Structures are given as C-alpha cells and as structure tokens.
Amino acid sequence: DAGVTQSPTHLIKTRGQQVTLRCSPKSGHDTVSWYQQALGQGPQFIFQYYEEEERQRGNFPDRFSGHQFPNYSSELNVNALLLGDSALYLCASSLDVAGVGQAGELFFGEGSRLTVL
Amino acid sequence: RKEVEQDPGPFNVPEGATVAFNCTYSNSASQSFFWYRQDCRKEPKLLMSVYSSGNEDGRFTAQLNRASQYISLLIRDSKLSDSATYLCVVNRFGSSNTGKLIFGQGTTLQVKP
C-alpha cells in the first residue's frame, strides 16, 4: 500500500520563477492538504482539496494555487517566487470521515524542499 | 500571538528520564487535539490523539485541560529513539465542517546515553 508520494524531492528556483509540486495521496484517501514548513517552525496550512475543489484556505496569498485531479492527486503552484517561499512543502492526505479525516490523522508525504535564490 | 504555542527547547535528557512537554492554544473553538512526532528532515507522523479524560499509550501520556486551553505530553523511561521534534496540533472545524490542523512550532527532545 503506497503512502503519500511527492515530487520533486528537492528543487532550486530563482526569485520571480514559478514552481509546480505534485502529490499522490495514500490509496483510498480523497482529501489532500498542503502545508508549508519553514526551518525551525511547525507546518502552516496552505489549503485543502476535496472533490477537485479548494475547500479551505489558510493565510497565503493568491500566488499559491492548487488543483486536484479526478484520481485525487494534487498539484501546488507558486508564482512569482520570493526568497521567503523557501521551505519544505508537505502534502497530506486523509479520508473525509466525519469531516475531520480518520480520527484527525493526516498522512504526510516526505515533502518537496524548495530553495529560492 | 501564535494560535498554538510550545517551548521549542531543546530538552536534553538522559536515557530513562521522564520528560514533559506543554502546549497552549488560543482558540477556544478548537475541537480536537493531537501530538505529532517529526524526526529530523522527515515528515510529521501522528503520535497520539489527546482526549479530555487523558489517555496513555505505553510510555506516553497525553492530557488536555479545556478550561486552561492547555495540552501536555509526558514521556516516561526515555529512549534514545525518542529523540525528535514533538508537534502540538489542534483541529478547528471550518465552515464546511472539515478541520484544518494548526501546528505548534514543535519541541525538540534530545535523549542522551
């Protein structure tokens, strides 16, 4: 049973560029959430996708956008990259049982580490 | 003020010690509570949920005090393998009744031989 997979694992971009990160959820999961984790900080919620719609959004600018496909996989896009966007981007999947995932458990991928120069 | 606050540590303890981590949350509407563990350069993983009555899983005990908006994690008989960052997490239901997890900064534990 494959867990959450993310690609790429590492990437380097320059300011102003655009990046697309990809995520395949754990088998059987229908909800994908994206988090940004800066060094020394806890993960910060970006947004959540369910049934191909953005269901909730955190305090991130419109430069951050996403998409969910019919097979539940998801993409995170960041435009006009800033130095401050350098972070580990974590994808987490869950099953929407009672609106909170299975007992609140998110299954995280290993993340995509983005460096913006 | 952060919605979930933790002492970042690090907590340096010898093997076999008992160590306690505390966490406070500011939003009284928070519905559910968890501790996640994150190893260095790895993804967070659920350690345990936290219930109002308190709950135990082996050497780990979690407590919740809703009145004080305070969560704790106690680790007994620390092992070298317990060295990690422990993230306090709360779930606040959104308008569509689905929660987004709010993570604290994390508390780093180093268990020494």
State how far residue B18 is from chain A, nearest Cα, in angstroms: 24
Instruction: Report phi then psi at A42, rounded to 5.
Output: -80, 165
Which residues make Cβ contacts (< 8 Å) with residue B67, sequence separation at least 6? none
Q: Are B105 and A40 in contact (CB < 8 Å)?
A: yes
Please answer whether residues B101 and B87 qualify as being in contact, where contact means their C-beta atoms are separated by less than 8 angstroms.
no
Indicate yes or no: CB of B100 within 8 angstroms of CB of A48. yes
In this prediction, residues B64-84 reach a mean pLDDT of 96
Contact A108, A54 (CB under 8 A): no
Handedness of CA B76, B20, B64, A44 (dihedral sign): negative
Kindly tell me if the per-residue pLDDT of A71 is higher than 80. Answer: yes
Q: Is residue B23 pLDDT above 50, yes or no?
A: yes
CB-based contact, B93 to chain A, within 8 Å: yes
Instruction: Give the one of B49, B98, B105 whose C-beta lies nearest to A56's C-beta.
Output: B98
pLDDT attached to residue A8: 97
Which residue carries 């689905």 as its tokens?
A: B98
- Give B98's contacts in chain A (Cβ within 8 Å): 31, 48, 50, 55-56, 96, 99-100
pLDDT band per the 50, 70, 90 thresholds, residue A65: very high
Q: How far is B43 from chain A (nearest CA, A)?
A: 5
Show residues of chain B in contact with A96, CB under 8 Å: 98
Band (pLDDT 50/70/90 cuts) for residue A102 is very low
Q: What is the mean pLDDT of residues A74-82?
A: 98
Q: Backbone phi, then psi, for B87, in 5-degree steps? A: -105, 125
Sign for the CA dihedral angle at B94, A23, A40, A83 comes to negative
Which residues in chain A have their CB less than 8 angstroms from residue B96's CB? 55-56, 99
B91 contacts: CB under 8 Å, gap ≥ 6: A100, A104, B30, B31, B32, B33, B34, B99, B100, B101, B102
Q: How far apart are CA B45 and CA A21, in angstroms?
A: 21
pLDDT for A103 equals 45
Q: How far is A38 from chain B (nearest CA, A)?
A: 10
CB A109 to CB B98 under 8 A? Answer: no
**CA distance to partner chain B, nearest, from residue A61 (Å):** 17
Tokens of A41: 């900080």
The span from the CA of A47 to the CA of B37, in Å, is 22
Give the Cα separation of B78 and A44 in Å (integer): 29
